[in-house]
Amino acid sequence: MTPCPKCQYIRKPSDIHVHTGVCPACGIAYQKWLDKHSSADNASDTTDRIFDDTHITEGSFFSRLMATVTEVPHAVDPATFWARTALLATLIVWWGWIAIHGIDWEVIGGSFMHNIDLAFHEFGHVLFSPFGTLMMFLGGSLFQILLPLIPLTVFTFQQRDNFSAAIMLAWCGQNFIDVAPYIRDAEYRALPLVGNATEANHDWGNILTMLNAVHSCYALAKTSFAIGVIVMCVGFLWAIYMLRLQHQVIKGVSG
């Protein structure tokens, strides 16, 4: 396979979702790029070429990023593919069922993911405690939301496993949903807290009191819930797209 004339990228079998005349890495159209750089020996053409190069360079980051987040393995194990398909379907049904109930503490707090999120939430308080009282209270919710982005980054840029990365993004969205009832409860401080904590230890009750914004707790809770649903849906759509690309690889090998 001839390498890209601009970035020297060599197409892989997994790049079948990108048009054969376009480089999956830098996004140039091969023939168009060659035409622009093989002729034009006058000043006007040189100026145009410099402009085009600048435009391509500016767009190359996005092109490379898209190539990275849609990369699939050269070979896909069918058993793993179908196991992932079953997992994704289960997560969509389960988390979708939770989401359609809205900001319902009994449903969200009763999810199997809540206790997992809670462990990271409590660690977040310890992690952010050196940065002051406000950040200590905020650190629990902040850390549980941001944590999935760490494995997401590892899966995408190191492991080259974009399906797993997509699930991590959906988990990030689920954490936004998990936090929503806690924010809504800032006005009442009625939710059960971990251990022997009292209502005086209510994170969002204290955060919004310190910010003089307790009256906004419902709007903030709805915002957190909405962001969670959107992020979760993006994660699921990404995962579905990756499974589609992996299925094309399987069909290509079997064919």
**Residue range 2-53, pLDDT digits in tens:** 788 877 777 777 777 677 777 877 777 777 777 777 754 444 454 444 444 4
Closest by CA to 11, choosing from 32, 30, 25, is 25
φ/ψ bin of 149: left (φ > 0), alpha (ψ from -120 to 50), beta (otherwise): alpha
With a CB cutoff of 8 Å and minimum separation 6, the contacts of 192 are: none
Distance in angstroms (rounded) separating the CA atoms of residues 233 and 240: 10
Band of pLDDT at residue 164, cut at 50, 70 and 90: very high
**What's the pLDDT score for residue 254?**
55
Q: What is the mean pLDDT of residues 237-244?
A: 97
CB 221 within 8 A of CB 183: yes
pLDDT of residue 218 exceeding 60, the answer is: yes
Higher per-residue pLDDT: 56 or 105: 105
Give the sign of the dihedral formed by CA 136, CA 141, CA 144, CA 145.
Answer: negative
**What's the pLDDT score for residue 47?**
43
Question: What's the pTM value of the predicted model, to 2 decimals?
Answer: 0.77
pLDDT of residue 213 exceeding 90, the answer is: yes
**What's the pLDDT score for residue 40?**
47
CA atoms within 13 A on the CB side of 150: 6
Q: How far is the CA of 228 from the CAs of 17, 25, 66, 225, 236, in angstroms?
A: 29, 31, 23, 5, 12
**At what angle are helices 43-69 and 149-157 packed, to 10 degrees?**
120
Higher per-residue pLDDT: 173 or 254: 173
CA atoms within 13 A on the CB side of 66: 13
**What's the pLDDT score for residue 220?**
98
Closest by CA to 143, choosing from 131, 154, 155, is 131
pLDDT of residue 253 exceeding 80, the answer is: no
Higher per-residue pLDDT: 249 or 35: 249
**What's the pLDDT score for residue 39?**
56
**What's the mean pLDDT when you consider all of the chain?**
87
Q: What is the mean pLDDT of residues 65-91?
A: 93
**pLDDT tens readout for residues 113-148:** 999 999 999 999 999 999 999 999 999 999 999 999
Give the sign of the dihedral formed by CA 180, CA 186, CA 187, CA 190.
Answer: positive
Q: What is the mean pLDDT of residues 69-92?
A: 94
**What's the pLDDT score for residue 196?**
65
Q: How far is the CA of 52 from the CAs of 30, 37, 185, in angstroms?
A: 14, 10, 55
Distance in angstroms (rounded) separating the CA atoms of residues 36 and 31: 9
And the tokens for 1?
């396979």
